[in-house]
């Protein structure tokens, strides 16, 4: 297996991580990572791990750039893998004038500009689509480069908010209750 993640950082995270470290040591898994880790959650678990995660898969798009956790991860050269890199259909994002104007300059659609921004900003993006044309379009982002001013304009769109807040009271308990994991 190329990559295996702790999907939600609740329950016996340390035990799950230990099992993943063992599987990696046995060459059953090439890379191991985490998901949905905020700075608070990161700092409570990561220092316990023998092996650093390869990635932290987090909600990330121009409106939710996750700057605080990215700064922490950058200190050890770890990468963010975006889930929801196109905002999960957020109409405000997909009709944003700043992004649309940049797209017009390069003859690219809003999705292409967003994905180019994220890749150029050092993130791993895996946009979800079942539409063949959109899949093809999502791959067509490597024939242009955003300028420093364009990158700054998109950086300025960050609201600091996400749809999913792993630190919110009750989130962990709710997930554990509704998605039980059996040994």
pLDDT in tens, 12-53: 899 999 999 999 999 999 999 999 999 999 999 999 899 999
- Classify domain 3-178 by CATH number: 3.20.20.100
CB 64 within 8 Å of CB 155 = no
Q: Sign of dihedral through CA atoms 23, 24, 28, 33?
A: positive
Sort 60 into a burial class: Cβ within 10 Å, 0-12 / 13-18 / 19+. buried
Q: Where are the domains of the chain?
A: 3-178
User: In the 8-state DSSP scheme, what is residue 106?
Assistant: H
pLDDT in tens, 116-134: 999 999 999 989 889 999 9
Cα separation, 52 vs 54, whole angstroms? 6
């Amino acid at each position: 297996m190329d990559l295996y993640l702790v999907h939600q950082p609740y329950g016996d995270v340390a035990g799950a991580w230990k099992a993943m470290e063992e599987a990696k040591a046995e060459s059953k898994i090439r890379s191991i990572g985490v998901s949905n880790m905020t700075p608070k959650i990161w700092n409570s678990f990561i220092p316990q791990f023998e092996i650093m995660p390869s990635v932290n898969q987090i909600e990330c798009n121009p409106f939710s750039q996750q700057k605080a956790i990215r700064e922490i991860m950058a200190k050890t050269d770890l990468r963010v893998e975006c889930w929801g890199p196109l905002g999960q259909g957020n109409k405000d994002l997909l009709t944003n004038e700043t992004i649309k104007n940049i797209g017009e300059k390069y003859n690219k659609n809003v999705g292409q500009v967003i994905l180019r921004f994220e890749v150029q900003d050092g993130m791993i993006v895996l946009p979800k689509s079942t539409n063949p044309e959109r899949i093809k379009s999502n791959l067509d982002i490597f024939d242009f480069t955003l300028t420093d001013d364009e990158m700054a304009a998109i950086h300025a769109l960050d609201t600091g908010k996400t749809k999913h807040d792993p630190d919110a009271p009750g989130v962990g308990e709710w997930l554990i209750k509704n998605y039980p994991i059996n040994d």
